[in-house]
Structures are given as structure tokens and as C-alpha cells.
Structure 1
Amino acid sequence: MRPAGRLMWLIRLAVAALLGVGSIAPAAAEMVLHRGNGTEPETLDPQRLRGEAAGWIAMDLFEGLLTVDAKGHPIPGLAESWTVSDDGLVYTFILRRNARWSDGSPVTAEDFAFSWRRLLDPETLSDYAYFLWPVKNGRAINLGRMPPSALGVEAVDDRTFRVTLEEPAAWFVSSLQHTSTSAISKASYERHGEDFIRPGILVSSGAYKLAEAVPQGHVKLVRNPHFHAADTVAVDTVYFYPTENRETELRRFRAGELDLTYDVPDSQLDWLKANMADELHIAPYLGNYFYAFNLTRQPWASNRDLRKALVLAVDRTALATLLTKGGEEPAFTFVPPRTAGYTAPQPDYAGWTQAERDAEAQRLVAAAGYGKGGKPLEVEILFNTSENHRKIAIAIAAMWQQKLGAKVVLTNQEWKVFIDTRNNRTFKDVARHGWVADFDDAVTFLKLFRSDIGRQNPSGYANPAFDRLMDAAGRERDPETRQDLMRQAEALLLDDIPIVPIFYHATQNMVSRRVKGWEDNLRNLHLTRYLRVE
């Protein structure tokens, strides 16, 4: 057979084989998800991260003893089961046999013991160390009074992790879905030190592993083949894009560059409801939006009536119905409605008309010696750079100016600068704040106002009576009595007025029709492992 004839024969043979019974199927296309993700993460270190955007990425990378399902409900994570002693003090967690790090090595109880000691070590500077204060010696370690080795945790064997508490804490297990309580690989940390979190080095325990982290660009995660439920994960690669400008994020979504948005601009909600309603998701949220007074500075530290005047003069209903229009609800309390088993106490002025609130606000300002014939009332509002936050600040500033004669200055800072200014309480008067439930319990909100909580305390509020009530609620094992103690604590908080409650959040997300598995939920948690792209 001539060479050319032999070549044609081989081609015809190959074509016949491909079309026959033994034909080769085309490789499945890679499934990629593109997510808008708000602010740039400061770190992905689970013991050091802060902020919702970093938390969403970390929940894809790390799984704790507990995790959440597609609806945000707590479920077993790396712990397949646990038991609690009759006195409520000793928790024994059994890790899954197939719990693996992304390098294939087993996740062990010692990894958790090491990570929890690291979380509480004062040198870690974790904003969330208080999650483990209920553990024996946890608070003393975090305050530098005892060494991390004294923590009440024990790796009984590779799969058995025993935790001893100082006193019963009804909410303890629920809190263990929070990323800060996840484990990092002890072996990797001892080998790489603080570089353990870098792409190419990080070993993770969640559904994904870290491929790239480009500052102001994206974070790229790829499937973790050693994840214990890897066979249920559909998305192969997920990109998280920091996008603080909501208008820019929406444009990218409409151009098909993003499959999900972190948020939507308030100014576009009416148009989106009319034109893209099938991709706009608005849902109630266990979160709040408020302003915090700086109680480490005057006149706010000593003038409760002046603080109350500013609270009364804010027309929350107008803000929620005419400005934000995204499903938010006017707030007069700190703990949001729909929090499991809890009904917040309402201050008396919640039942007044806005005209009545305004009149009382004006009387309080005059009685405090401000306004006409008195000292000028000057207020600076600090917020992080965002068109949505700016619009709210402008509206509130107008209310304070028109009703109380205040001179209001608006100051915005980029996220990383803002968060340090706010948490270190170096802002002048009031700062924008918000809190999202770490788990579905009132304690996740009220604990912020403990005098010993540190930088997370929004205002520097300190009231020993409030601390005692929260301590008693933490010890209480009867659910109704526990909720009543927290209601008493919140009533005291609201009467002391360290904050300006503004509204309870709702979530607004754009979700492409191509994305399946999205479940609106009170926690707004949407792990990539539950999603797929068609």
C-alpha cells in the first residue's frame, strides 16, 4: 500500500472507531462560577479574618466541626457526631474517618486543639477569640493571664476531640459553624509559619482549595478532591471578585462577567424589580444596620439625652420605604426579628409618631444646652466608601440638620482604613456599623456590648449590670429563662443608648438564571458546594 493510501486508510479507521460502539465521549466542560464579593479580604487566615466577604471565601476553604446546609441551618461538618455530659460541661466530638486536608493527609483532633489555642493566643490578635471564651481558661488565655497550653481541649486520639467548658453554654455547639473555630493544619503551620495561608502552600479542609489570590483582582478556588463530600460538589472553579462599587458590580453582572452579586445599588432596585425580577433575590436577613456613638469621647460619653435626641430624630420608616427600598425594616431594637426563640423588648418611643419623636428630640437638645442660644451641635458621620452608605448618611445628616440644627460632616474611608478607625474608636462622633448573625441566637448580637469583648464592642459601652445579665444567660440551661435574661440585657442596652438603631437588613442579590441551587435564607450563606452552573 502506498504511503498516501495507507494514511487515508488509517484516517477512515479512526473515524469509524469514533462513530462506533467504542466511541470516545468528549471531556466534560469545566464548571466555573464567578461571584461578586464586596470588599477586598484582608486575610483568609480563619483565625484572623474579619468581615463577611472574607468569611464567604473561608467557608469554601475551611470546614469546622459544624457547617451549614444550603438553607443556612447548622449540620455536622468535620465532626460526624458529638456527645454532651449530663452537667453540660464536656463535649466530645468524633471526627469523620474521611476528614482530609487538601494534600490528602488526615484532619486530626490535634489540628483542632492547636488551632483553638492559636485563636485564643493574644498574639494572634483575633477579633473572634471570644467564641471560645466558654472553654475552660479560654477568657484568661485570651486576656494574657494564662498560657494557651492551659486551654480545656484534648486530642484523646486522632479522631476524638474533647472540650471542657468553664460553665454550661447553651449556644456553644451552634457557634462552632463559625469559620474562626475551624482548624488549620498544624503540620503545615509548623513547616511554613505565617506563610501557611499563601496560594500553593495552603492546605484546606473544605470543598475547595486556594489556587490564586490577586490583590484587587480575584481569589480563585478549585475543587478539593480530598473533601469528604467531593462527589456532591458540582462547581470545579470559583472566582471571587472584590467589588466595593455596587454600580460597577451590577454592570459586570448584566454583561455576563458575574454569575452572582454581593449586593445591588439602592438606586437601581426599582428598575431591577421591573426588568430583571427573575434574577433579583430579596430576602429577610439576620442582620442590622446602625450607627455607633464613640463613648470614649465627649460629649457622647456623658450625655445620654443628647444621644437619645439623635436616635429620636432619625425617621427609620422613611429611610426603609423611600430610600433603601430593598426589603429593610425600621429598627428600634438591636436584635432583629425572626431570631430563633427571641422577641426583642421595644423602647417606649417605638410606638410614638415621628412628629412626637422629633418634638422630644428638640426638647432634649435644648435641655442639654445645644442649639439656638446654646453650644453648636456638631456631628461627624464616618462610613466606609460605598454609594449606598453615602446615601443613608446624607439622609440622616439632613434629618439632624433640619430638626436639631446640627452641623453634620460626612467622612468616608476605604474599607481597611475604616475598619481600623472604627474598631480602635479613633472616630470623632458616630460611625456606620452593622452586624450579621454568626449563628441564629440573640447572644450573637448582644455579646458585642460586653465590656470585656474588646475591639468588637461598637461604642466602648461598659455596664456591669449588662455583663451580669449576659453571664447569667450564658449559664442558664432553661430556654425560656435564658431568653428572658437576654431580653432584660437588651432593654438595659437600649435605655443606655450607645447606638442609633436604623434598620434590619434584607439581602439583595442578583443571581443568574444559569445558577442552580441558590436558597434564600436568613443567614445569606451560599456555599459554592451547593451551587451549580447550567
Structure 2
Amino acid sequence: MPNVRVNLFSALLPGLALMVAGCGDGSEQPTPQPIRLAEPVPVTLDAFGRPAPDVLAEQQQLHRGNGEEPQTLDPHRAEGVPTANILRDLFEGLATTAPDGRIVPGAAGRWDISRDGMTYTFYLREDGRWSNGDPVTAEDFVFSFRRSVDPATAAVYGRMLMPIENAQAILAGDQPPENLGVEALNERTVQIRLDDPTPYFLGLLTHASTYPVHRPSLVEHGDDFVLPGNLVSNGAYELVEWVPRSRLVLDRNLDYHSAGGVIIERVVYYPIEDENTEFQRFRVGDLHWTDQVPSNLFGWLSVNLPQALSVSPWFGTYYFGFNLTRGPFRDNLPLRRALNLAIDRDILTGKVTQFGEIPTFTLVPDGLPDYEPPLPDYAILTQAQREEMARELYREAGYSEDDPLEVELRYNTSENHRKIAVAVAAMWKQTLGVRTRLINEEFRVFLQNRAMRRNTEVFRAGWIGDYQDAFTFLELFHSAHRRNDSGYDNPRYDRLLEQISTERIPARRRNLMVEAERMLLGDQVVLPVYTYVTKRLVNPLLKGWEPNVMDFHPSRQMFFVKSRAQAEAEAAAMQPEVAPETETDSGTTGDVTVVEEGTT
């Protein structure tokens, strides 16, 4: 797909003024027609926490909007939140998460942790099976952990297994994967030895890099083991169809250890990158769950669809990265600082995104119980003071109004990303005179260009923590990390990360992480913008999920309940002498009614 370039050498500021003026009031597009969603019946749970059968809807098929197209369903090579959503349905690690985000047993029914925190012993479920009926064994996990750290696999997140004994040496190519500290004590027992105590280790075991893969399928099909008909999974669902750029279809895995508790029979994921398209599909009932919502509709949605709109904190940061391996940002710290200071984050979050995002000057989000991000000195200044500093640094960097910086800013396809990029470019133009070309790329191309570092200058980025610890953000910028798209290469920073990995005293470890983030911000490797919130539309008839800071929502925990109208109609049918008139539901999925203007 060719790049889409937008030349912003002129007329940026009037466009920004119009965009900001229109945000949130529906002026960018016609105001949508009102929607009336079916009201659910009250949910009652039995003694085991399951919904009572009489409240469940007859149809249990879930349609989920899911952002970008997956690049692969190989759990050890996959990346990106949309792909992680699908993998969470297909596979299950030793541990998993409850609806509220708590870590609970997964493929392992229980585990023991040694008193020194160095050895974890996991006991696999007796009824754990792959989707083809094969038993899930300890050797499956040993093979898969070794594959994840094997340099030949080129796993994007292989470094997440660094706490495991010898993982660092294996990833560096100094030891064979067989030396990894993961052992099958017997068919159902996996023991993992760590180099040092790791408080967040159980959280790592919910990540796709630790999922088991079915070795016979991998041997037989090679890279094609992830395709429908070939993919054998151990999670609650199995892959039955994948139509690129259209849909992925998952059916309930009858061999899953807890298949009897899985209510949703089929899940269909749709890779829809455009928020407006996704919203329209929700309106007509094609979707029960959206990945995003259009930012300009927040006010309208808050008034017209409050029962479907879900906004909650998310453990992640939206930022822009600088390519430090080439001009104009290599060896030009004043220029990077100037661009950072010229951004008005309050306008971006208050007038452009408008969904409760929190402006930030740090990489690690607030909210961790034992970590407070180091706030840069300029954070306490007014925006006018920051802009004055930006102009001084811009001149120091060698640029002026007569000789302005010309720069490319890349972002992946999304209306929200586009609006932010336009606003940022306008701020740079207004404050510094920078001339910016916006380049929009399809997600796959965008990631490839970021990783290669040959074409990028400034690029949109964001990171959602894989586990609730500051290290999940800091490790991204180790010189050897595969997601270090900026090309940051600082031996002092690398040594700090290695110290953090081995430090056993929590207070010292926390101080080292603060020092590392302070160094990262001081070198202006990234331009933080805001702390994420999740924002989506969910059909009110879909239950079993809860907002959580990690935004993990496996389909196996969800279920549809009857609408109140349907329940009342059923009750009336049992008493024919009463038979009141009932309002029926309509729409593609049977639970959406579009109300025309002037009707009731």
C-alpha cells in the first residue's frame, strides 16, 4: 500500500483552528441519528459465579472490532494489542487473568513459589488438552519457552523472559536454548528457575511470548502452522477462518479444560482501522464491541449512548519517537528538546482527543503503587514559558525562520492519529516555523519502516505495559531490544537496565528505575503526549467483562443476556390471557434500533 503524504508547508494553522473548534461538537460530520439499544435483563449468578441459564440469550456469537490486521498468529513472533486480543482467545499461558485483571491459574491449575523467590513450580491441569485432543504437557512449555528465547525465532518479546536462568546469555547467542532454566519434572509439572527474584514474574506468564505452541504442527507446517486448518491451540477457542483485511473467525474449543464454562460459541474479529467506519458498523448492529470510538463524537455518545460508552484508565503512554540513527535528530539534543517543548499537551487532550486522556511529560504512567515517574523541570512551567525555551533551543540547534527544519512525521492509519499529527505539526509551525510532512501508512508498513530506521524521522508510537511494573516501559530502549525503533544506544542506560534486572532490594530497584527514566527523558529519546484511556462501545447485552487497567478482555469470560423486551415477551407468552403489547428489538444482531428523526 503506498504511503499517503500530506504537505503541511502552508495553511496548517487555519486547519488546526477549525479542527479544534469542531472537536466534540459533531461539526466535522453530520450528527448521527439517535440509536436505541435494547435494555438487558438483570444478571443473576449461581453459587459458582455463572449466569443463570434463564437470563442467557439464545444467540451467543460475538462480533468484535479489533483495529489493525494481525501480522501473524505465532504467539512468539506477534506484536501489537489487536493481535494480543486474538491470541488471548486462542492460547493460554501457565497463568491468565480474571475479568478484573487479577492473575489467576491458567494452563496450570496451581503453583508453588520458593521462599527465596527464585523457583516457581507449576502443576498443569489434568484435563488440559490441545484443540486436536492431544494432552498439554510440561514438555510443550519447555519447548515453547526455549523457542521464545532462541535467537533463530527472532521473537519480538523474547527479552520478556530475561528473568529466567540463562535467558540473557541465550538471547545474546552465548548459550544454547537448552540451557534455559525451564524443566519438565514430569508430564504435568513445569519448574522455572530465575536468575534473581522478580516480583512481576507471574504477570509475565500471561503474555503471548510465554504461550505454548503445538510442536507437531510447527514441525509439519513450518511458518504456516498459524493458518486455519493447521493451527492447534490450547485456549478457549480455535481458529476456523482468516480472511485478510476482512475477518478472523474463532469457534469454541471443545477440548479446552474449562469448555463447559465458556458461553460465547463463536467470536468474529474485524480488522477495522477507521474509527468512523467502526462506529457506523456498531450503529447498524454489525458489531457488539468496538476497538475505538471517533474522538469528535465523544459529546454525542455521552448524551445518546451512555449505556454503551466505556472509558477507563489504561496502563499505557501515547508518544512520538525520534529516529536517532540519522539526521536531523542524531546528535542534536537541542532540536529534540525544542520540538518536545513546543507541544501543548493540554490542547491535544482537551480539544483534540477529548476522552479524558491525561497529559504527560514522562514515559511511565502514574498509578503504580511503588513507582513515581521523575517529572522534568519544565513540566512546572507555563506553556508560554516552555515555548520560549523551545525557540531558544531551536536556534541553538541551527534552525531559524529563514532556515526552518523540514521534517517527516509518520503515523499509522487512524482518524484519531491523523488529528493528533495535524495538531502537533501546527504547533511546531506556529511556535518554531517547522515545516512538516505527514505520512500516513498502513499498520504493517508503518511497523516495518519504524523497525528498519531508514526512512523514519519522527513517528507515532505508544506502549501498553505488558505487566504492572515500570520496567516494561524502560526496557524498550535497551540497545538490543527489538522494539527500540528510535535506535537509542547508550551504554550507561543499558547498564542501568541490567542492574535493575538483578537488584533484589525493592527500594534500590525503584531508585534505579527512576534514574533510568530520568536519563531517557534527559536524552529526549521520546516525546510523551498523554496517558491512555480505553474508549469503546459495548452492546449493553454483552456481560461478563469488567474495565481493568491492562484492558485484557478474553471472550471466554463474556456472555449475552436477553433483552428486557424479550424476557417480558416470553413471560407474556406463558400467560396468553394477559398478552400486553411489547416492543421488539431490531437490527442485524437483533439488539439495535435506529430511530429516525421525529419518531418516538
Preserved CA contact (<8 Å) 1:340 1:441: no
The answer to whether residue 459 in structure 2 is matched with residue 431 in structure 1 is: yes
Structure 2 counterpart of 1:403: 431
* Structure 1: distance between partners of 2:363 and 2:90: 31
**CA shift for structure 1 position 193:** 2.8
Structure 1 partner of 2:552: 525
Q: Provide the residue aligned with 2:70 in structure 1.
A: 41
Which residue number corresponds to residue 487 of structure 1? 514
Aligned match for 1:77, one of 106, 112, 115: 106
Which of the residues 206, 211, 219 maps onto 1:182?
211
Amino acid corresponding to residue 395 of structure 1 in structure 2:
A
Distance 2:63 2:57 in 1: 19
**Contact 2:95 / 2:104 at 8 angstroms: preserved in 1?**
yes
Once the two structures are TM-superposed, the CA of residue 28 in structure 1 deviates from its matched residue by 8.7
Task: Report how far residue 145 of structure 1 moved.
Answer: 3.0
1:217 Cα deviation from its structure 2 partner: 1.4
RMSD: 1.7
Identical counterparts, % of pairs = 46
**CA displacement 1:383-442 (0-9 Å, x = unmatched):** 111111111000000000110011111111111100100122123311000000111111
Give the C-alpha shift of residue 368 in structure 1. Answer: 2.1
Q: Contact (CA 8 Å) 1:329, 1:503: kept in 2 or not?
A: yes
Could you tell me whether the CA contact under 8 Å between 1:170 and 1:474 is conserved in 2?
no
Of 89, 96, 115, the match for 2:125: 96
Partner Cα separation in structure 2 for residue 495 and residue 131 of structure 1: 25
Distance across 2 between alignment mates of 1:189 and 1:458: 30
Tell me the TM-score normalized by structure 1.
0.92
Q: Write the letter of the residue equivalent to 2:98.
A: D
Provide the aligned length of Structure 1 versus Structure 2. Answer: 507
Counterpart-to-counterpart distance in 1, 2:191 and 2:545:
35
Counterpart pick for 1:256 among 277, 285, 292: 285
| Alignment of 1:500 onto 2:511 | no
Q: How does 1:99-178 map to 2 (within 5 A)?
A: 99-178=128-207
Separation in structure 2 between the aligned mates of residue 216 and residue 511 of structure 1, nearest angstrom:
22
For 1:523 and 1:424, how far apart are their aligned partners in 2? Answer: 29
CA distance 1:162–1:398, change in 2 (3 Å): same
Secondary structure at the residue paired with 1:456? coil
Show the counterpart of 1:8: none
Please say if residues 311 and 536 of structure 2, whose CA atoms lie closer than 8 Å, have aligned partners that are also in contact.
yes
3-state SS in 2 of match to 1:519: coil
Contiguous gaps of at least 5 residues in structure 2: 1-55, 562-600
For the pair 1:415 / 2:415, whether they are aligned, the reply is no
The 8 Å contact of residues 90 and 163 in structure 1, kept in 2 or not, is answered as yes
* Maintained 8 Å contact 2:74/2:226: yes
Query: CA deviation digits over 1:285-338, x for unaligned, max 9?
Result: 101100000000123121111110100000001100111001101010000111
CA distance in 2, matches of 1:89, 1:452: 25
Residue 387 (structure 1) aligns with: 415
The 1:198/1:372 distance shift into structure 2, 3 A limit, reads closer
**C-alpha distance in 2 between matches for 1:365 and 1:37:** 40
Amino acid corresponding to residue 499 of structure 1 in structure 2: V
The 8 Å contact of residues 56 and 527 in structure 1, kept in 2 or not, is answered as yes
Instruction: State whether residues 245 and 386 of structure 1, in contact with CA within 8 Å, keep that contact through their aligned partners in structure 2.
Output: yes
Taking the aligned partners of 1:258 and 1:426, their CA distance within structure 2 comes to: 39
Contact kept? 2:76, 2:148, Cα under 8 Å:
yes
Q: Which residue of 1 aligns with 2:19?
A: none
Deviation at 1:30, TM superposition (A): 4.2
Hey, what does 1:510 align to over in structure 2? 537
Distance 1:381 1:433 in 2: 11
Shift, 1:473, TM fit: 2.0
Map 1:267-286 to 2 at 5 A: 267-286=296-315
Task: Measure the CA separation in 2 of the matches of 1:514 and 1:94.
Answer: 37
After superposition, residues 217-232 of structure 1 pair within 5 angstroms as 217-232=246-261
1:461 — aligned with what? 488
CA distance in 2, matches of 1:143, 1:467: 14
Higher relative contact order (CA 8 A, sep 6+): 2
Aligned counterpart, 1:210? 239
State the partner residue of 2:505.
478
What does the per-residue CA deviation read over 1:481-518, in whole Å, with 9 as the maximum and x for residues that have no partner?
A: 32222111111111111010111111111001111122
Q: For each residue in 1:59-116, what CA deviation from the matched residue of structure 2 results, as whole angstroms up to 9, or x when unmatched?
A: 0010001111111222111122223334433322221112111122211110011111
TM-score, normalised relative to structure 2: 0.82
Amino acid at match of 2:551: N
Instruction: Determine if contact 1:340/1:442 at 8 Å carries over to the other structure.
Output: no
What amino acid is aligned across from residue 461 of structure 2 in structure 1? H
Stretches of structure 1 lacking an aligned partner (at least 5 in a row): 1-26
Deviation track 1:107-142 (CA, whole Å, cap 9, x = no partner) reads 111001111111122222211111112222322322
